[in-house]
Amino acid sequence: MKRLLVLGVGNLLLTDEGAGVHAVQDLSQEDEWNPDQVDFLDGATFTQDIFYVFQEYERVLVLDCVKGGGEPGTIYRFTEANLRENYEQRLSLHDIDLLDSLRMAELLGNKPQLLVIGIEPLTISDWSMELSEPVKAKYPKYLEAARREIRALLA
């Protein structure tokens, strides 16, 4: 079993909706990471069908855009408990699938520890493969927040 899966979710065609996928693609190219300990996966729009992948990991770090009500580019950190506490007001369209996938993984025998690093979008409905200007400006900080979490989760 590997220690960590870094899962980028979102739609690259919908501006800031693709921030998590952009991030996982960029991070996966860095030489810092030991491939025996961490995998990077583009989860696209994330469906419940991915739950079986969770069986192979102790921890899952999800990178996603998150509508938390802050300024575009605001960076968030959520645990599984945080996501469950916000049941009525989901932070992301992907949260329901993510929590359901964790439940299904648990039924199969391994429920990894979950952490989400999100970035507040400006828009998730415009057709573009580019991030919006405010999100693009904060994107380096988003990557650094993800790097810090990866390092901590592998320590």
Six-digit token string for 34: 């030991």
Q: Is-contact 3 154, C-beta < 8 A?
A: yes
81-135 tens-digit pLDDT: 887 776 544 555 555 567 777 777 778 777 888 899 999 999 888 898 999 999 9
Q: Which fold has domain 2-154?
A: Rossmann fold (3.40.50)
- pLDDT at residue 82 in the model: 80
Angle between the N-to-C axes of helices 133-154 and 19-28, in degrees from 0 to 180, rounded to the nearest 10: 50
Domain spans, the chain: 2-154
Count of residues making up the chain:
155
Phi, psi for 112 (deg, rounded to 5): -75, 160
Task: Please tell me the chain's helix, strand, coil percentages from 3-state DSSP, rounded to the nearest 5.
Answer: 40, 25, 35
Six-digit token string for 47: 């469906």
- pLDDT at residue 88 in the model: 46
- Collapse the DSSP code of 133 into the 3-class scheme (helix H, G, I; strand E, B; otherwise coil) and give the result: helix
- pLDDT at residue 47 in the model: 59
Q: What is the pTM of this model?
A: 0.87
- Which of 12-16, 30-34, 41-45, 82-86 bottoms out in mean pLDDT, i.e. has the lowest? 82-86
